[in-house]
Structure 1
């Protein structure tokens, strides 16, 4: 069974408090985009996990796809499978690619073995794998709070906008990003911020990680300013970086180019 785990962008991101468990509470709007990995799972004589595409650092045995399989296998005695992940979404970019892979593993296994798990059941499994994994179960725009795993639906229509995501080949770890942040509450509720016109977002919708990370990585503000100069209605870092995206009403300019070592994705929302 084959599926295509997609990325997400953050429309605003505020780190609101340090939690007793060592994590942070946040407020953000998660929005899915169509930049995708490819994930195939088939039954097999023994458990196997293989990867192609972008190299993923670390031991493959710790990959979230395998962890997702073992999580369900424990409760449902699943037979062995061969999981193959073709990695396209960059790591350390704030796009949620690894979390999406994990959630889509749960989704595929649910269908493949007819487990009949409801969306809320899958979300509860996904929460055990990572803070934003649960978002990719239903894959719809939400206002996210607490660890990024508590959701409220939001009516947000960006039809007709083109999203350009620029990854400047800088890997920013979660620990590095959160280690530089001072938590504070946003000045206005996320629901009210994102319901304003997209052209207003430039003045009201912020990502808290930009302030500490932009001076450290000057390529990031340069990308953001280039997107605005090209006519973006709104541009921002996504997640804890390092990808920067711009939202363009209609088509993005055809002559918008970046250095060859940058990875650029463009698609309609």
Structure 2
């Protein structure tokens, strides 16, 4: 098994989804151990789509209607979203099901990144402010650590856009009018093989849901996040944090 430092979202999600996760660092992104198996996407798509449908229903039922999305066409809502936020983004997510109540925030812009998780009111976050360092901060323990980071290290925080590789297939939930686009996961970013699924409002193509599907796991191991908000990046989150009230580890 290979241990790999992964982003907060990928680590916590895969910790829930896979038995290989054995360590957790409250002042930094979690560490996950995963064992992956090879299965064809077509074999796992049908039962997973059923699971995605059910979890989407509560949060998107008011959007039920029609969509002009063509699953066999060239348009991809994910590519449109990436283009819209090419200059940076700030997104807040909330875990569902096994991650219920956990809040996540990601901010990315100009080679800088911020990521945080709040679990039962306890917040930890990491910042790549572009100075060649990564700052890991735990508000729960009021501690911090600083590590060297190369110029591309911030990309590990871009789980929203950076974790997706090639498009696999799309599926429309006609009950909720949600378009689900399936992409293969970049294991170099996510720390594991599998797929990432983006759920879009069929009328507006606003992002509504993100689902991580570990390869080789059954449908109950899918990890769900609803999108609370998404907008332009907040520069204040990308600065070197004020650590005057914290103790260095």
Give the TM-score taking structure 2 as reference length: 0.27
Q: Normalised by the size of structure 1, how large is the TM-score?
A: 0.25
The structure where helix makes up a greater share of residues is 1
